Structure 1
């Protein structure tokens, strides 16, 4: 027996040493797999920024700011008409640390009129709000947590935690034998398990090192490891680990661990800002995250929370009046969590694709990345609402059921993607129509045709007449292709500007054949369409099947005066040590003359005011300088609209997933969505024409200079020196005056 006893003690000692090594290895090494977090763009604030008070308010709500009496608490604001007081939270951006700051903002005429420090009154030139977290890229185990230090938690939270879960935490050494005896007696009297005697240290060991199986071996391991953990590490380290490890709920297939993430998950705020009733609720949830889920079982959760508050009062931690006020407070839980794998799944799809395209795969496998994107949450919400409302209205008023849609919004100048909507149910993680739908784009390609022509100002101007007569082309299989205009009419000789603004198909085909189809294809590639394009005549009329993201690249180049920059959704990626990952370079290249692009864009402006988009375009504000193009495919299957204003470009598609007939043109389906979006997000004045542009009045019938006697005349832009010199017959007296002026100049040369 002695020998067996010695052997047993040696075995126990050896096993204890093994468990000690397990405890140390994980507690001192990498304790958790931390997911990568994806952020929207931070809202930049500076004097005279185009920004409405309503959009600022939307942004504040999205990032979890709360209204308060004075706006001086971190993460709070006060609004008084067009005046705001906001106290920001500190945040580490990719390039600098932004400290918490109280600021005063005044708005006037949809602009930020002034920005000052709310304490000192000194003017501020620029600051950024912290960005909204829009998604998470999970590790393999699907667990999630926001790591916090004990100092980040409200003191009352940790006090309540110990008061409810382990009253003797500060005094025991891993095991509380009095609690074990008390629980055993209660369970014996009840005839079932009604109480547990585990300490916080034991709970940490169970969650951190072991599994939840109820076996004697696991309980022995738990006890030994709890004693070893207390022997090796101080109480603060153990409590901090517990605060980051404890399970507090479920978000779909993602487990919520730790108080840091739970504060965001339930209250949309960092843990530092938790109030007494909110802290008590998190402690209450610990007993059973599903049973006390405050979103599903609010009364049950309230009762348990109030019990936690009562314990704090009983222990003398808080006074009676404060306890009663906390118990009377609402739960304060947000209606639904705005975390999850992504609030904006369509945009996150684009982020993941660009990460794979522009970053090294080995770097992306690092945990705890912070991915800063270009998404503008206010513009994203605007796009989602506009698309959903229009599809609902088409179903309600016109019986058009089962419609779907997709859209992409980009920022002029930077080529940053501000929003991506993948369908009428934007939160649904399904087929992403903005990126993956492949449909004929119709007349959205026509600007490339006209840019090809206008890049030769000695041959073509917006006033050049082209033939919009019938076209018949014999195909290789012997059939004859005879495209017609939408109105089934031929219009004879028309100006280029008219042909584009009214989207005449016959004129477009005639022009494309005259220019050469390969030249048109080269222009499409230059504008950013990277797909293989066969030089068939049908390409001129948009037979090419593309997605909204592809058309967004093309119209981005048009909006940026011929400068091509690859669309980007990712601004910067930082590793866990806040160091930027190396990315493959994105280059901006001037591919077209700004003057030639300007001519095309002005014709597109006419299209919106007088041509295919006039049903909606005539009602849009003139000062926004909006331009755009409708796209309608054969048999009215797809409805497209693409265009831009002073600040943003957008492409909208509406159709059926099964490619059935919608009965919608580009003007009746996609255009109203586009117009609704653009009126809300374009707040600046129109762009200034580039150099080498002059404006001349021309007669629509002849393409020559016009004067008072001409019935239909247009003010059109021309590259300097390319405008028509002769007057139209309708100009009448203007011609005589021109001749007289000419001879007067000649005579003057000989005086």
Structure 2
């Protein structure tokens, strides 16, 4: 009986062992599948990184010294007396010596080199290689990082490859954290045994025995739960990780995974981001003592935070330096000097949110047409935009300053007046800057994108362009009544708009009506054209919003955002060629492969001739019209064209205009829609002028179409000039549309004999013998 029982027990035990082994094997296989799936797939949810345009420099480019220095600061270049290392520069007045980092662009590579740049009168005078002395025709700086789209769990990291980090960092990390890393198989029994003895003696945990591999597994796969099961999983997965992957692959993953600090809500992971967070420099430019500090923080980033606990951090850094010297990673003779070095941590952490939230809003809206939100936050996309940081910062400063001055001059309660601005390039329609409010750092209501306000007379160029597209009916010399106008809205209702000054100038030419922004002639033109034609022109110019067929639209009773106004003026500035405004140039994945380009899409929506005529009138507006303020404050060579806009009760102040290089739209008003007491000329125009005073730009020089002829016209009548009377003005016309009739000059009154007798010539003496005969004849 006992033998039978013993036999049954042995069989049951064997079955149990087999089943246990099978269960363990199945569990290990499950762990292995999980481990390999994540390690070989998408290891991290990587934020999308958004970059500005690269600064291109060549002789003759408009660039001020202070703007070049600001660009270098945004790129975290360090000012020194002698730029030996990459990422350094020196400035001597208008002369710069820059040691560039180099950058891999999609199409080619900009090499690392020392460059001398001399600027004069707001332009680049010379560029040369500092070592070879050879002049450079073109050079590009790397792109400024302007923001990120972060994962929902608020982790941030900058991935680095093992060959991109300084060898001192990799060797020092191994020496301090796991000096037998290249010898063990994922677990180090000696370290585990030594840690157990030390912890038993102390009665609590004072030493860890985990290898770098185990630390990676714990941070990458497991929670912070303290249990035997988690420890067992950690050990098993460490063995599996070592089985499948090389030591270098494991070390590289560790360099990118380790937690090294907190930037408000964002967790700082990896040495790539930590080097920027603490030292404002890429990991490749770290010094030995800086590397030692970051390695030391791996033990406890919060405890050794150098900004909060500098003494604690210094002590830890010096201990790491001692270990690195002991293990032969650095020269023992250098240690004392390295310990004397300050922590050299940047005083303030970089902002956890983008310094350009308004522009980032625009980028997100455009990206959402092609990518879902999850991909934007987790795929590590590299988004290259057209934003010009110099133009952006200048626009922000100008808008904020002028809005404060206007607020004070109009005695508006502080903080109540606001504004928005959009700047784009004439060629290509790329948005160079976008300011969503007077506080450009506020990541909230973006007025440039979302504020729908009535646009007033800013709409008038579209009405007049529609008229000029019908040359058989309208030319710049067409006479239009400036008198009262009545438009029937319904059987019982009429609309009777008035001019802003409530005056009647009689008959004016079409050109003069637009230059002086007269309302009643504009309404007459629009009604004669038909609202359908005017609305079609607005849509052709790029306004995609619904537009009602109400006559009041002719005077700007239409709510648009500054970005929509910018699109309309962009098309006019480009000679009637519609190009959708865009902020994005291209998108790459985290491996550097181009996923999408945003090519230039153009469509001719207005004839070059009609657009040229309109531009000539809008240029006149800046000289003698509602924007003549510009001719007083800007140099003559900064030729431009534009139009003011004011809405009822002076709630909104607008100005949109363009030079040969830039298109700029400005809105000034209140969020509560109360009166500002500002017209387009006294409000938004001042912001526009302030920007143009300091923005390097090209003057407006519209290309004259072959069909355009300039003709001398009588200023008052709009007929051909008669040299016998009137005042001549030279106007452009489409060939064959100039006036046919010449102004009639009344003959000069003939002097009678009576008048001669009353006013005899002073040279004559006595009575004219023929006078009586003539007198009798004239009677």
Does the TM-score normalized on the shorter chain lie above 0.5?
Answer: yes
**1:155 to partner: Cα distance:** 2.3
Written as runs of structure 1 = structure 2, the 5 A alignment for 1:671-710 is 671-691=685-705, 692-695=707-710, 698-704=713-719
Count of aligned pairs? 732
What is the aligned partner in structure 2 of residue 48 from structure 1?
60
User: How many Å separate the matches in 1 of 2:181 and 2:712?
Assistant: 87
Gaps of 5+ in 2: 1-8, 749-779
What is the aligned partner in structure 1 of residue 115 from structure 2?
103
1:62, 1:132 within 8 Å by CA — same for their partners in 2? Answer: yes
3-state SS of paired residue (1:618): helix
3-state SS of paired residue (2:568): helix
What is the aligned partner in structure 2 of residue 744 from structure 1?
none
Q: Deviations over 1:259-282 (max 9, x none)?
A: 112223333332111122332332
Written as runs of structure 1 = structure 2, the 5 A alignment for 1:141-156 is 141-156=153-168
User: How many Å separate the matches in 2 of 1:251 and 1:474?
Assistant: 63
Q: 1:129 aligns with which of 129, 137, 141?
A: 141
Asked whether 1:83 is paired with 2:95, we answer: yes
Asked whether 1:94 is paired with 2:103, we answer: no
Written as runs of structure 1 = structure 2, the 5 A alignment for 1:253-652 is 253-297=265-309, 300-313=312-325, 317-320=330-333, 323-325=336-338, 327-333=340-346, 335-337=348-350, 340=352, 342-357=354-369, 367-400=379-412, 401=414, 402-476=416-490, 478-581=492-595, 587-652=601-666
What is the aligned partner in structure 2 of residue 747 from structure 1?
none
3-state SS of paired residue (2:617): helix
Q: Deviations over 1:522-576 (max 9, x none)?
A: 2212211122222221111101111111111110111111111111222122234
From the superposition, tell whether residues 533 and 179 of structure 1 become closer, same or farther in structure 2 (CA, over 3 Å).
Answer: same
From the superposition, tell whether residues 491 and 72 of structure 1 become closer, same or farther in structure 2 (CA, over 3 Å).
Answer: farther
Q: Deviations over 1:97-154 (max 9, x none)?
A: 3333333323233222333333323333333222122232344544332222222112
Q: CA RMSD in A?
A: 3.3
What is the aligned partner in structure 1 of residue 753 from structure 2?
none
What is the aligned partner in structure 2 of residue 736 from structure 1?
none
What is the aligned partner in structure 1 of residue 771 from structure 2?
none
From the superposition, tell whether residues 585 and 42 of structure 1 become closer, same or farther in structure 2 (CA, over 3 Å).
Answer: closer
From the superposition, tell whether residues 288 and 596 of structure 1 become closer, same or farther in structure 2 (CA, over 3 Å).
Answer: same
3-state SS of paired residue (1:684): coil
**1:381 to partner: Cα distance:** 1.3
What is the aligned partner in structure 1 of residue 768 from structure 2?
none
User: How many Å separate the matches in 1 of 2:722 and 2:263?
Assistant: 70
What is the aligned partner in structure 2 of residue 236 from structure 1?
248
Q: Deviations over 1:682-711 (max 9, x none)?
A: 432432441344555655433356699989
**1:443 to partner: Cα distance:** 0.8
Q: 1:113 aligns with which of 125, 129, 133?
A: 125
Q: 2:676 aligns with which of 662, 667, 673?
A: 662
From the superposition, tell whether residues 9 and 176 of structure 1 become closer, same or farther in structure 2 (CA, over 3 Å).
Answer: same
Q: Deviations over 1:488-509 (max 9, x none)?
A: 3232222333321221212211
User: How many Å separate the matches in 1 of 2:371 and 2:244?
Assistant: 41
Question: TM-score, length-normalised on structure 2?
Answer: 0.85
Q: Deviations over 1:324-350 (max 9, x none)?
A: 356433524263425x56432322222
**1:594 to partner: Cα distance:** 2.2
**1:483 to partner: Cα distance:** 1.9
User: How many Å separate the matches in 1 of 2:103 and 2:746?
Assistant: 66
User: How many Å separate the matches in 1 of 2:745 and 2:339?
Assistant: 84
Choose 131-140 or 447-456, whichever is displaced more: 131-140
Gaps of 5+ in 1: 734-751
From the superposition, tell whether residues 180 and 359 of structure 1 become closer, same or farther in structure 2 (CA, over 3 Å).
Answer: closer
Question: TM-score, length-normalised on structure 1?
Answer: 0.88
Choose 598-607 or 469-478, whichever is displaced more: 469-478
User: How many Å separate the matches in 2 of 1:707 and 1:618?
Assistant: 33
1:708, 1:731 within 8 Å by CA — same for their partners in 2? Answer: no
**1:194 to partner: Cα distance:** 4.7
What is the aligned partner in structure 1 of residue 226 from structure 2?
214
1:387, 1:673 within 8 Å by CA — same for their partners in 2? Answer: yes
From the superposition, tell whether residues 14 and 512 of structure 1 become closer, same or farther in structure 2 (CA, over 3 Å).
Answer: closer
User: How many Å separate the matches in 2 of 1:334 and 1:596?
Assistant: 58
**1:642 to partner: Cα distance:** 0.7
Q: Deviations over 1:652-684 (max 9, x none)?
A: 112222322222222222222222223333432
1:137, 1:341 within 8 Å by CA — same for their partners in 2? Answer: no
Asked whether 1:59 is paired with 2:71, we answer: yes
Written as runs of structure 1 = structure 2, the 5 A alignment for 1:164-183 is 164-177=176-189, 179-180=191-192, 183=195
User: How many Å separate the matches in 2 of 1:431 and 1:563?
Assistant: 31
**1:70 to partner: Cα distance:** 3.9
What is the aligned partner in structure 2 of residue 226 from structure 1?
238
From the superposition, tell whether residues 235 and 141 of structure 1 become closer, same or farther in structure 2 (CA, over 3 Å).
Answer: same
**1:202 to partner: Cα distance:** 1.8
User: How many Å separate the matches in 1 of 2:397 and 2:492?
Assistant: 49
User: How many Å separate the matches in 2 of 1:709 and 1:321?
Assistant: 95
